[in-house]
Structure 1
Amino acid sequence: MKYLVTGAAGFIGSATAEKLNQVGHYVVGIDNLNDYYDVNLKQARLNRIKHPLFRFLCLDIADRDAMEALFAEEQFDRVIHCAAQAGVRYSLENPHAYADSNLVGHLNILEGCRQNQVQHLVYASSSSVYGLNSKVPFSPSDKVDHPISLYAATKKSNELMAHSYSHLYDVPTTGLRFFTVYGSWGRPDMAPFIFTKKILDGDAIDINNNGDMWRDFTHVDDIVEGVVRIADVIPQKDEAWTVETGTPASSSAPYAVYNIGHGSPINLMAFVKAIEEELDIEAKKNFREMQPGDVYQTYADTEDLFAATGYKPKVPVKEGVAEFVAWYKDFYGK
């Protein structure tokens, strides 16, 4: 089967492309290799995908003409859309980057799928869409109408845009709300990477909300397993579905949304301690108040995804942290 993977030089995209190759699928990976973070890391991710079934193209999903030509020429069976401008805090500084990539880019992907009869579009949403929701665990059946960052708002918009294409054009779409993904080859703007680097460099780490925060840390291996499995579960129309009796995660159209997370959040300080133990260094800590765009807790209800795919996370935090720290020290020669 022929897949398009967008964001193929990214953390989740590169790991997904590699997994698809391993199980025998042909993958065209695209990425614009922007400098939001170290381009050398992005290139290194691509370099490790040494597989005859992988081909990389440096393209920007916001480039309408390029996307139209790509879809028309390649005729993909399925699309896994991971490309996006990531990061909650950066959306406070550069909001237009989010409109270009997350809105215009997402529309170009939807149009490509519509015009070329793609069997299934699986796209990355985010746990940040839960915003001001306080009921936990977060469920895809919950309303998510109050995002607290532009990044979260664009991800909620992606779900709405996908539904309109599923409804109007019968494009099967599945959104995955990722929960705090970590592991080797991770992003430098995320807490595990930042903490590890600063501890090794002898710098103080910032602890938001004075450490009273909870995150559903999910190892990238578990995430990729869920992504690849859900690609085979193509949403179907449900004529009996109604707004009054159904949930926001399903529809009369071929549309679905799932959480993909570990389902067992841990306290931020416990995660820091796991890193300290792996490095055998006690971190210098700067405790501070909650930061703009941050949420107090993330906690995924993954029952729907488990029912659809049998997906169940396997990597405990201690093992996952050890894997990440070992990779970091090896990659950066620490």
Structure 2
Amino acid sequence: MKRVLVTGTAGFIGFHLARLLLDEGFVVHGYDGMTDYYDVTLKQRRHQMLLQNPNFAATEGMLEDAALIDRVTDAFQPDVIVHLAAQAGVRYSLENPRAYIDSNVIGTFNIMEAARRLKVGHLLMASTSSVYGANEDMPFVETEKADTQLTIYAATKKANESMGHSYAHLWNLPTTMFRFFTVYGTWGRPDLALYKFVDAILDDRPIDIYNHGDMYRDFTYVDDLVRGIRLLIDAVPERPASREDIPDWDSLSPVAPFRIVNIGNSDKVRLLDFIDAIEDALGKKATRNYMEMQKGDVPATWANAEALQNLTGYRPQTDFKDGIARFVAWFRDYYGK
């Protein structure tokens, strides 16, 4: 029975991943800082649900607390570490960049050190589609260069990828980084667009639509995302014997057991169509406040998910209208609206 340490289990994606792993019989230890970046009550409710399972336990602590991380990992002895905890949010990184350095760079280093010391079988860490930055060739593919990040959030995630590669090379630590594409779904974060739109429309408040709605996103339903992570746990990268052994589609490093994998729906959706679907699910029209593009934002994201499919036989496919309907049903139930 595999033992998996998951950071960020009180968070949106970490909660869903932990629940999936527990359903499949894994023993899971969660680690989460319970920061007040958004409503802590929502985080506490997620943890309360996970704690109903006897195979789940959790520690509350910050990623920057290296001594606590060492104590937790020494006691739990994980076979696998999935590092999802981070200071999230592109927009907040404009206001408080230091939080991103502390959590995403120093905190990730602490997790990598624990993985190295314990010689875990596989370290998996979250990156983001934001690392593609100013790249314009779409769909984005993992083998292309990504050196033009537009926010400090994206820059810290690209730093994590570079740090992960160096540790994989130096210590033969199998490492997979996944780049997430616009994740949405039940138990979502209040700072995400879907949550904010639904909440505002139900309260008769206007919604802010950047770049006048001429934006495209590869919306990925959270259940699909965590299924991809679960399957990648078993796709352990191995240092190749030679460069010729690496297929064209594979981002596997020629000098390390290290790989980057996109997890996305491979379907770019116009923001205005996304908003139309929210209105349909709510049975209510939005008051639309059209605005200019926000600093650090990009007009489009779109994933090539060929690597994920080749490695796992799986690709996300939830239609955004179905995903929105599920979220609206959860939101109305949770908040009694």
TM-score, length of structure 2 as denominator length: 0.97
Which string of whole-angstrom CA distances, capped at 9 and with x for unpartnered residues, describes residues 175-204 of structure 1?
Answer: 000000000000110100010000011011
Contact 1:118 1:171 in 2 (8 A): yes
1:202 aligns to 2:197 (yes or no): no
In 1, Cα distance between equivalents of 2:268 and 2:297: 16
Which string of whole-angstrom CA distances, capped at 9 and with x for unpartnered residues, describes residues 86-135 of structure 1?
Answer: 00010010011001110001000100000001000111100000000000
In 2, Cα distance between equivalents of 1:61 and 1:289: 35
Instruction: Return the match for 2:309 from 306, 311, 324.
Output: 306
Question: Which residue pairs with 2:184 in the alignment?
Answer: 182
Q: Could you say what secondary structure the match of 2:243 adopts?
A: coil
Q: Bigger CA drift: 232-241 or 98-107?
A: 232-241
Shift of 1:48: 1.6
In 1, Cα distance between equivalents of 2:46 and 2:84: 15
Give the aligned residue type for 1:15. Answer: H
Q: Could you say what secondary structure the match of 2:101 adopts?
A: helix
Give the number of equivalent residue pairs: 333
Shift of 1:315: 1.3
Give the aligned residue type for 1:66. Answer: L
Which string of whole-angstrom CA distances, capped at 9 and with x for unpartnered residues, describes residues 141-194 of structure 1?
Answer: 110000000000001001000000000001110000000000000011010001
Question: Which residue pairs with 1:330 in the alignment?
Answer: 333
In 2, Cα distance between equivalents of 1:32 and 1:64: 13
Question: Which residue pairs with 2:261 in the alignment?
Answer: 258
Task: Please list, as runs of the form range in 1=range in 2, the aligned pairs for 1:110-121 lying within 5 A after superposition.
Answer: 110-121=112-123
Question: Which residue pairs with 2:60 in the alignment?
Answer: 58
Is the alpha carbon distance of 1:169 and 1:246 closer, same or farther for their aligned partners in structure 2, counting shifts above 3 Å? farther
In 2, Cα distance between equivalents of 1:246 and 1:166: 21
Contact 2:4 2:82 in 1 (8 A): yes
In 2, Cα distance between equivalents of 1:202 and 1:139: 40
Contact 1:9 1:45 in 2 (8 A): yes
Which string of whole-angstrom CA distances, capped at 9 and with x for unpartnered residues, describes residues 207-262 of structure 1?
Answer: 100010000001001001000000011000113128x9978932121000000000
Shift of 1:38: 0.2
Give the aligned residue type for 1:308. Answer: L
Question: Which residue pairs with 1:156 in the alignment?
Answer: 158
Give the aligned residue type for 1:273. Answer: D
Instruction: Return the match for 1:94 from 90, 96, 109.
Output: 96
Give the aligned residue type for 1:8. Answer: T
TM-score, length of structure 1 as denominator length: 0.98
Unaligned runs of 5+ in 2: none
In 2, Cα distance between equivalents of 1:327 and 1:248: 37
Instruction: Return the match for 2:107 from 102, 105, 108.
Output: 105
Q: Could you say what secondary structure the match of 1:48 adopts?
A: helix
Is the alpha carbon distance of 1:82 and 1:287 closer, same or farther for their aligned partners in structure 2, counting shifts above 3 Å? same
Question: Which residue pairs with 1:9 in the alignment?
Answer: 10
Question: Which residue pairs with 1:320 in the alignment?
Answer: 323
Give the aligned residue type for 1:286. Answer: N
What CA RMSD, in Å, does the superposition of the two structures yield over aligned residues? 1.4
Unaligned runs of 5+ in 1: none
In 2, Cα distance between equivalents of 1:245 and 1:183: 33
Question: Which residue pairs with 2:47 in the alignment?
Answer: 46
Q: Bigger CA drift: 160-169 or 249-258?
A: 249-258
In 2, Cα distance between equivalents of 1:226 and 1:99: 27
Shift of 1:332: 0.7
Question: Which residue pairs with 1:237 in the alignment?
Answer: 239
Q: Could you say what secondary structure the match of 1:257 adopts?
A: strand
Give the aligned residue type for 2:294. Answer: Q
